[in-house]
A and B are shown apart, each in its own frame.
Chain A
């Protein structure tokens, strides 16, 4: 899969799926975050003015990614923010922890092109694997 932006969407009747890749686990998490926020809004119009620290624990790598993305959705709804850039510092495979920063700004309906709400990140047919040249995950968003 050669995808310049790090992910591509795939067809799913009522939801939206994304196939995401990343050379490292932090890049995979960042690209998955982009895939999710590209569903929500046009990220190009979102200025990275405020940084929000994110730290999550999981019970598997798949679970860790779902929790990372769910935390971003939670911040979107409770802090009323859109995120455009993501830097994941560390994904600890042994302790199953991820830490990083999401940057964005408050929702401004006059300036931001809003697309749709993502209701939830699902575990539906989730598969996170290490390929020969990159990590890959298949993930479905409930929209």
Chain B
């Protein structure tokens, strides 16, 4: 998940919204079988992406060196083992770098509708009524294939370690076993692919905005606020019983929320805490929060990552029957462009819980602090 801020105001953007959404839709491949036509990674390139993540992208002309300062781990997880990612996974991933995918993945143009914490918002470069862009996508087919490949490994491992499985999909091995170590190496490589993917998409978002507004990058000021993983397990140091301990922290449906002053919190945010990005549904709002000391003490520096679904996909399709969700969204002032016609129905706002309620819970629990509310203006989906 990545958030960009900009020097544009909502009034600047509103009259060009249709052009923006079309330009984004043209420059970011979405949906079934989406791949880039303008370039294709060669066998050597994919190895570099898996090893070097977002820095690879910047080195190859996709974005600025400063972008890396505002990405979790600088956009490159140390300990990635590209050689443990199968050829099949690499083959799936190669044409997909720089593409969005489908399901709940999106790129969204938003305006900052409300600020809850002036100091933190200033540190994060968020101003009321300014335009922001959110990018939600990950490691694409490469990551799914890494999972598929390791399911085979883990099914065998579970038998070997005598782990009684209630469901074969939950097959596993001890973190410190050989299988566990190999999986972490491959998963980190997939995470690097995801960082690089969002870095490329950032580049294409900037290009689309430059094309529509005929302004240079400096004027547009599309800068990375933050980029943070969710659905990943990472080895981190936390205090357990008063002692610093190396732990494997698995955040699934959760995201990292490190406190002010933490070494991993970027310099610019040192006083306020690590930015936390919590997307809502495409019709209501998303939130920006910051991590807290309390999260570090109580939840291993973690908080929630999204609203969560209220309806199954089938129920959402049924509720959408006979309606034009695109028109309903347009009536609310939100332009939606999607590749797959099933996606819009399944992703319609009422299919999700109200993220405001979810965010209030984590805010009141003190495991992250509300900074700003973002309201969608234009959305592209797969």
Contacts and interface: CB of A to CB of B under 8 A. Distances in A.
B314 A16 contact: yes
B265 to A, nearest CB: 31
A88 interface: no
B148 A70 contact: yes
Contact of A124 (B155, B169, B309): B169
A126 B151 CA distance: 14
Interface residues of B, number: 35
Interface in A124-143: 124-126, 142-143
A12 to B, nearest CB: 6
Interface string A11-33: 11111100000000000000000
Interface in A74-113: 74, 76-78, 80, 82, 107, 109, 113
A30 B381 CA distance: 30
Interface in B33-81: 33, 35
| Count class of interface residues, chain A | 35 or more
Nearest to A143: B103
A62 B346 CA distance: 28
A82 B31 CA distance: 13
A108 to B, nearest CB: 10
B141 interface: yes
B163 interface: no
Contacts of A52: none
Given A59-B155, A70-B148, A126-B168, A115 B340 contact: yes
Contacts of B315: 11
Nearest to A126: B168
B19 interface: no
Q: Which of B88, B101, B151, B155 has the most CB of A within 10 A?
A: B151
Contacts of B168: 62, 123-124, 126
A115 B92 contact: no
A143 B313 contact: yes
A62 B352 CA distance: 32
Contacts of A114: 31-33, 339-341
B331 to A, nearest CB: 25
B96 interface: yes
B141 A77 contact: yes
Given A74-B88, A124-B167, A116 B340 contact: yes
A121 B31 CA distance: 18
A117 B92 CA distance: 13
A39 to B, nearest CB: 8
Nearest to B104: A14
A41 interface: yes
Nearest to B381: A116
B232 interface: no
Interface string A33-46: 00000011100000
A120 interface: yes
A82 to B, nearest CB: 8
B144 interface: yes
B91 interface: yes
Nearest to B382: A117
Contacts of B11: none
A15 B144 CA distance: 14
Contact of A13 (B32, B92, B309, B343): B309
A26 B32 CA distance: 27
A11 B32 contact: no
A78 B342 CA distance: 23
24 contacts: A9-B314, A11-B315, A12-B313, A13-B312, A39-B342, A40-B32, A41-B32, A62-B168, A76-B33, A77-B33, A114-B33, A114-B341, A115-B32, A115-B341, A115-B342, A116-B32, A116-B346, A117-B102, A119-B103, A119-B141, A123-B151, A123-B155, A124-B167, A143-B103
Given A14-B312, A77-B92, A80-B35, 13 more contacts: A12-B312, A12-B313, A74-B91, A74-B92, A74-B145, A107-B32, A114-B32, A116-B32, A116-B340, A116-B342, A117-B101, A120-B148, A123-B167
Interface of A: 9-16, 39-41, 59, 62-63, 70, 74, 76-78, 80, 82, 107, 109, 113-117, 119-126, 142-143
